[in-house]
Structure 1
Amino acid sequence: MKLSFFTGSMSMYPLEKSFELAAECGFEGIEICGIRPHAYAPDLKNGDIVNLMKLSKDYKMPIIGFEPYQAPHPYNIMYERADWRKESIEYFKTALEMTAAMGAGNFMVMAPGHPGFGRDVDDKWKMMIDGLTELAEHAEKVNATIVLETVTPWESSMIITSDDIVRTRRAVNSPNVKGMLDLVAAITNAEPPSEYFEKLGKDMHHLHLVDGHIDGEDHLMAGDGDMPFREILEMIEGYGYEGYCSLEHFEEYRMDPILFNKKAVRMIRELQAEIAADK
């Protein structure tokens, strides 16, 4: 597995600071969070992509994926209003185009938002599948991959378990739609993380390597939550996973994201060294 930096926790700093920190800490790639002031998809399309790619080149830090801003609003492919739904789909098409511009075959992380309450179960399912199918066709056209991310039950009621990913991928039926594991989604939905490896197999395309609590959606660094993190790393290695693992922290450590990101990667490296020494 390879460690990748996630820029979401650094939104109070210029984007360059994320690349600088990722390089300093020895990360092997960077996952871009598509929020202002950093990398909002329409801003990228209007010219900001040039600076983003220059930062990647200057810091020798490959961009491995893009997570566009999407939840809880203003973009949701399950909006009941057709004009809002259309606007959301166009936004994600732009995000896919920018994903492809960051590197051939790159992936866009997508967690369909909450459909809202009081909705018919078949209606919201159809809207989600119709929207994802249209986006998958666009992903094939521009040479990008959509990676479906499960979330916690507080964030959505649609794609929250590995079975939800499997069912959604079957319905969309596109080679450009894969799945991923966010460890907090697994623990809050009372699901063993190993289910993702077992059910997705070679289509397990990405991983958010974070700790968490069973009763909350915070994305924490290794050791700050309830997970047996050394065993988590051993499990990932045991499945032969060779993709990227992003340390997806947001604002849980807002008091000083630079210091806490440094601590987070140190914790992972120390556990990896322990595992290697015990072999």
Structure 2
Amino acid sequence: MVDLAFSTNAYTRHSLPTAIRRIADHGYAGVELLGDDPHAYFPEFTETDRENLLEALEETDLAVSNVNANTAMGYYDDAPPSAFFEPSIIRADADAREWRVEYTKRAIDLADTVDAPAVCLATGRPLPGTMPEVAREHLLESLSSILDYADARGVAVGIEYEPELLIENTDEVLDLLEEVDRERLGINLDVGHAAVYGEDVAESIRHSAGSITGIHLEDIVGGRRGKHYHRIPGKGDLDFRAIFDALDDVGYDGFATLELYTYPDEPDRAARDAYEALEAYV
């Protein structure tokens, strides 16, 4: 059976412990931890921060669905939107690429600490001057180091594809999994990303059977004809009955995590309304 979780990335105007406690108030069984500023930006995440996190999780009895390591905006003093996934694991600059590999390992450490089954990781965009085939070589090299580390700690790594990234759809991520051929590499499947790319979301889930490390949920208006903007379920065009039926068909029994970072001004409303819209399916 699928359980619902909610990502702390909707609560970026609140501390991580506060976000966890407020998410618990809305009935969720799990919480996804944002592995970035202002919650768990690893170069600045202290032992006191870790203790406060563990205290909040114990108090609320929430499980951790995933550590979201897709971004590292804390790396920049004033990050432009184009730097959303930078520095990435496909960055041409070797030092920047290695920084991101080590950052991902810290996310794995946190997942190990809080008994999360997985971390999610986006590949980033091939930047000007880096041909896609060279970026893929960097990706394979980075993943080899990351997965060696993850294997030793029993944590899965879910690649989250997204339009315009090096890995941007279901076929590409499945090809990557086949090429890398490592047990702990899988897919963090964001239903909105599949829809915006133009995929049938339920079929994307079925094609990914056995490889899904986590699910991100949000609604999207217009599918491929629309914009990539995360909305509360019921405020867009996705068929959540079909999505949950597909998850049932493939035997997925992990967490489905609401990722509604687009509601920083009203995260409690987003959490409450999303739960009410989806509780019938779980």
TM-score, L = length of structure 2 = 0.87
- Partner amino acid, structure 2, of 1:121: P
Residue in 2 that maps onto 1:72: 84
* Cα distance in 1 for residues equivalent to 2:15 and 2:47: 18
Shift of 1:196: 3.1
* Cα distance in 2 for residues equivalent to 1:173 and 1:272: 33
Whether 1:272 and 2:277 are equivalent positions in the alignment is: no
Structure showing greater relative contact order (alpha-carbon pairs closer than 8 Å, 6 or more residues apart): 2
Equivalent residue runs for 1:231-250 within 5 Å? 231-250=242-261
* Cα distance in 1 for residues equivalent to 2:274 and 2:137: 40
Kindly tell me the number of residue pairs found equivalent between the two proteins. 267
Equivalent residue runs for 1:1-279 within 5 Å? 1-44=2-45, 46-68=47-69, 69-70=71-72, 72-103=84-115, 106-153=117-164, 156=165, 158-213=166-221, 214=223, 215-250=226-261, 252-269=262-279, 271-272=280-281
Equivalent residues of 2:161, 2:169 under 8 A apart: yes
Evaluate the alpha carbon distance shift between residue 81 and residue 182 of structure 1 in structure 2; reply closer, same or farther with a 3 A threshold: same
| Range with bigger deviation, 40-49 or 140-149 | 40-49
| Range with bigger deviation, 130-139 or 231-240 | 231-240
Evaluate the alpha carbon distance shift between residue 24 and residue 182 of structure 1 in structure 2; reply closer, same or farther with a 3 A threshold: same
Deviations 1:38-86 (A, max 9, x none): 1122333654222111111011111121012346254211111111112
* Cα distance in 2 for residues equivalent to 1:173 and 1:238: 24
Residue in 2 that maps onto 1:277: none
Contiguous gaps of at least 5 residues in structure 1: 274-279
Shift of 1:231: 3.0
* Cα distance in 1 for residues equivalent to 2:153 and 2:245: 36
* Cα distance in 2 for residues equivalent to 1:226 and 1:76: 31
* Cα distance in 1 for residues equivalent to 2:96 and 2:254: 35
- Partner amino acid, structure 1, of 2:274: A
Shift of 1:255: 3.0
* Cα distance in 1 for residues equivalent to 2:201 and 2:253: 16
* Cα distance in 2 for residues equivalent to 1:140 and 1:89: 15
- Partner amino acid, structure 2, of 1:144: V
Equivalent residues of 2:7, 2:34 under 8 A apart: yes
Shift of 1:183: 0.9
Evaluate the alpha carbon distance shift between residue 198 and residue 235 of structure 1 in structure 2; reply closer, same or farther with a 3 A threshold: closer
Deviations 1:159-185 (A, max 9, x none): 111111111112222111111311111
RMSD: 1.9
TM-score, L = length of structure 1 = 0.88
Task: Name the SS of the counterpart of 1:201 in structure 2.
Answer: coil
* Cα distance in 2 for residues equivalent to 1:78 and 1:268: 36
* Cα distance in 2 for residues equivalent to 1:73 and 1:200: 24
* Cα distance in 2 for residues equivalent to 1:254 and 1:46: 27
Contiguous gaps of at least 5 residues in structure 2: 73-82
Equivalent residues of 2:157, 2:213 under 8 A apart: no
* Cα distance in 2 for residues equivalent to 1:15 and 1:94: 17
* Cα distance in 2 for residues equivalent to 1:46 and 1:17: 17
Shift of 1:198: 2.7
